[in-house]
Amino acid sequence: MTIKDLRAHIFANSVDNACVVLQIDNAHLAADDFRVKYKTELAMCQSVESNVHGLHKVTDDTNVTLLQLETEMEALKEELLFMKKNQKKEVQGLQALIASSELTMEVNAPKSQDLSKIMADLPAQYDELAQKN
End-to-end CA distance of the chain: 152
Q: What's the CA gap between 84 and 92, in Å, rounded?
A: 12
Angle among Cα 12, 14, 20 to the nearest 5 degrees reads 105
Q: What's the CA gap between 121 and 127, in Å, rounded?
A: 10
Instruction: Indicate whether this model's pTM tops 0.95.
Output: no
> Where are the domains positioned within the chain?
3-99
Q: What's the CA gap between 33 and 119, in Å, rounded?
A: 105
133 residues of the chain, pLDDT tens digit each? 789 889 999 999 999 999 999 999 999 999 999 999 999 999 999 999 999 999 999 999 999 999 999 999 999 999 999 999 999 999 999 888 888 877 666 777 777 777 788 888 888 888 888 888 7
Nearest to residue 74, comparing CAs of 84, 85, 66, 63? 66
